[in-house]
Amino acid sequence: MTQADVASTANIRPRRRRRRNLTPFLLLSPAILVILFVVLLPLLFSFYTSFTGYRLIKPETLYQWVGFQNYQRIFADKNFWAAFGRTVLFLTIALNLEFLLGLGIALLINRITWGQRALRTMMMFPMMFSPILVGYQFKFIFNDNIGILNNALQALGLSEGAIPWLVDKYLAMFSILFAEIWMSTSVFAILLLAGLFAMPRDPLEAARVDGCNPWQVFRHITLPFLMPFAFIAMTIRSLDVARAYDIVDVMTGGGPAGRTELLWTLIARVGYDNARMGQANAMAYISILLSIAFTYYFFTKLIAARKYMGGAD
Amino acid sequence: MDRVLKKRIGKIVTWFLTFVLMLIISVPGLWVVLTAFRPNREVLAKPAIWIPQDPGWTNFAKIFGFGAEQIAIPVPAYFANSLIIASTSTVIALLIGMSGGYAFARYRFKFKNKIFLGLMLSRTVPGIALSLPIFIIWSRLGLIDAKLGLIIVYVALNVPFTIWLIDGFFRQIPKEMSEAAQVDGCTRWQAFWHIEFPLAKSGIASAGIFAFLTSWNEYALASNLTRSTDSKTLPVGLMDFTAQFTIDWAGMSAMAVIIIIPALILTFLVQKHLIAGLTFGGVKG
C-alpha cells in the first residue's frame, strides 16, 4: 500500500461510513412507504373511525365522536363473544391438528424412498389453491343433496337420509375445519420434511448405539431439531390465519343463523351489510390484536429456536 | 425371519397410509375437475351418476361465450382483470422486495430486527379488517372498482413476504464474491448486477411466482373493493354463480378449473426454491 492509498482510505472512511448507514434505509424506503400508505395509515384511520358512529350511508357521521361506545357495545354483545370464542377455538384446533398431521406426514414421506419427489410436489398443491376454491370445493363435496360425500355414503348404504353437513351446528363447524386443515397442513408437512432432510445423521446413530429406543430418539433428538421448522410454519400460518374468512364465506356465509360465524365474517356483515363502519372497525381492531398476538408468540419462539441453532445476528 | 416380517409389514403400512393421504389430497380437486366436464343435469341427478355419461367442453364454451348457450357471467373480463392486476402488482412487489431484501441481507443497521418484525406484522392484519378503512379511503380517492386500487393493495400485501424470501436467497450467496468484485474495481451496483443478481435469479423468480399466486387467489379485499367488470377478479367472479337461486355447479367447476390451472403450473415450477427460501430465511436468520 502506497502512502497515497493510505491517505485516500483515511479520507474516504468517514464518508463511507455515513453512506453505509444511509444506504439500507434508502433501499428499504419504497417498502416502508408502501406499507405506511396501504397498511399503517388506513389502520390509524380505522382506529379513529372505531370511536365514531360512522355509517356508510351517512357520510357526515364520520365526524360524530362517540368515545368508547362502539367498544362498550361489542363487549356487551353476546354474538360478538360467541364469534370471538369460536374463532379462538377454531384457530387452536386447526393449528394444533395441522402441526400434528404435518409431522405425521413428514415422517411418513421421509421413510419413502421411491417416488418421494412426486409425493412432495403433490403435497404442495393444497397450499397453492385459492382459499375461495378450497371453500367451493368442499361446499360441493359436503352438499347434503348432491355432494359426493353423501352420495357415497348412500350408495354404500352407510346412511339413509342426507346428512346436513353444512347446516347442522357441529357438522358445519367440522366441515369448515376439515377444509381449513386440508388447505394448510401441507405448510407444516413441507417445512418439517425440509427439517428432516437437513438433519445430521451422527447424533441419531450415536443415540442408537447408546441404546435409545426409537421413541426416545424421536423425542429427544428429532423433535427438538424440528421445532424451529415447526415455528417457521406456525409463523407463516399465523400471518394469514384470516384467510379462513374466504372458506367460511363460500361454504356457509357464517350461517345457518350465525352458527359458523367467525370474527372475520361478523366484521364483514356489520361493516358492509349493515353499513355500521364504526362498530365494524372496533371489531376489526380486536381481530388485528388477536392475529398479532398469535404471530408475535410464534415469532419470539422462532427467534429463540434460531438462537439455539446458532444463527447469525 | 421375524425382523424381515416386521419390516415388510412396516413397509406395507407406510404405503397404505401414503395412499390414503394422497387420496384425501387429490380426490376433492379431481372431483371438481371431473364436474367441469359434465352437464349440470348430470351433477344434480338422483341417484348419483358416478361415471360421466357425455363428457365435453360445453361448460368452458359457455363460460367464454362460445357455442349456443351463453352465461350471464363475464368470465373473460374477470380473467383479464386477474391477469393484469396479479402481474403488475407482482412486478412492482419484486422490485421493492429486491431492494429491501438486499438491504436486510447485506447491511447491518439500526432497528434492523424491529423493521423486519414491523414489515411482517403488517402482513398479519386480516384482509377483511384492512378492507374497511381502505374501502373508505379508496372511495374518496376514486380507487374503488379500479384495477389500480387493487394493484396498490396487493403490492403492500406481497412486499413483506417477498422481502423475507429474497433476503434468504441473497444470504445464501457468500459476501466475499461481491467484495472481490468491488476490489477488482466494480461499483457496488455493478457487483450486485453482475454477481449477486444472476445467482439469486431463480430464487427471485420463485418469490415472484409466490407473489403472483397470492394476488391471483386473494378474495377478502378484492370482494369488497371491486364492483363491476372493470376490476372484478376471478375469485370474486366465482361467487357470481352462488348469487343465483340454483347453483350452476358445472359452470362453477369449470371456472374453478380456470383458476386452478395457472396455480398448479406455477406451483410445479416454484416448489423447490420455495422450500429452500422459507427454511433458509427463517432458520439461518
Where residue A95 sits, what CATH number does that domain have? 1.10.3720.10
Determine contact: A102 vs chain B, CB below 8 A: no
Q: CB–CB of B96 and A299 under 8 A? A: no
Distance between CA atoms of B280 and B64, rounded to whole angstroms?
43
Give contacts of A236 with chain B, Cβ < 8 Å: 278
- Write the residue in B249, B274, B284 that is nearest to A312 by C-beta: B284
Q: Residue B279 above 80 pLDDT?
A: no
- Residues of the domain holding A187: 77-308
Q: pLDDT of B51-96, one tens digit each?
A: 877 788 888 888 877 766 667 788 889 999 999 999 999 999 999 9
pLDDT recorded at residue A222? 87
Q: Are A65 and A52 in contact (CB under 8 A)?
A: yes
Give contacts of B28 with chain A, Cβ < 8 Å: 137-138, 141, 182
Nearest CA in chain A to B103: A24
Whether residue A256 is contained in a domain is answered as yes
pLDDT tier at B277, thresholds 50, 70, 90: low
Q: pLDDT of B210-258, one tens digit each?
A: 899 889 999 999 999 998 888 999 999 988 887 656 778 888 899 999 9
pLDDT tier at B206, thresholds 50, 70, 90: confident
Mean pLDDT by groups of 10 residues along chain A of 313 residues: 46 51 89 94 92 85 86 90 92 92 92 83 82 91 86 82 84 93 90 86 86 86 85 81 88 81 91 89 91 84 70 38
- Counted residue by residue, chain A has a size of 313
Whether residue A5 is contained in a domain is answered as no
Domain count, chain A: 1
Nearest CA in chain A to B163: A31
Nearby residues of A139 by Cβ (< 8 Å), 6 or more positions away? A166, A250, A251
Q: Are A34 and B155 in contact (CB under 8 A)?
A: yes
Whether residue A195 is contained in a domain is answered as yes
Whether residue A26 is contained in a domain is answered as no
Q: CB–CB of B279 and A31 under 8 A? A: no
Q: Are B86 and A260 in contact (CB under 8 A)?
A: no
Share of chain B above pLDDT 70, in %: 92
- Write the residue in B115, B132, B218 that is nearest to A281 by C-beta: B132
Distance between CA atoms of A306 and A197, rounded to whole angstroms?
18
pLDDT recorded at residue B263? 81
Determine contact: A118 vs chain B, CB below 8 A: no
What residues does each domain of chain B span?
2-58, 75-283
Nearby residues of A173 by Cβ (< 8 Å), 6 or more positions away? A86, A90, A259, A260
Q: CB–CB of A130 and B44 under 8 A? A: no
Q: pLDDT of B91-138, one tens digit each?
A: 999 999 999 999 998 888 888 888 988 888 888 889 999 999 999 999
- Counted residue by residue, chain B has a size of 285
**pTM passes above 0.90:** no
Give contacts of A34 with chain B, Cβ < 8 Å: 96, 152, 155-156, 159
Whether residue A82 is contained in a domain is answered as yes
Q: What is the CATH number of domain B75-283?
A: 1.10.3720.10
Looking at every residue in chain B, the average pLDDT score rounds to 86
Residue B105's CB is within 10 A of a number of other CB atoms, namely: 20
pLDDT recorded at residue B226? 93
- Write the residue in A141, A277, A280 that is nearest to B31 by C-beta: A141
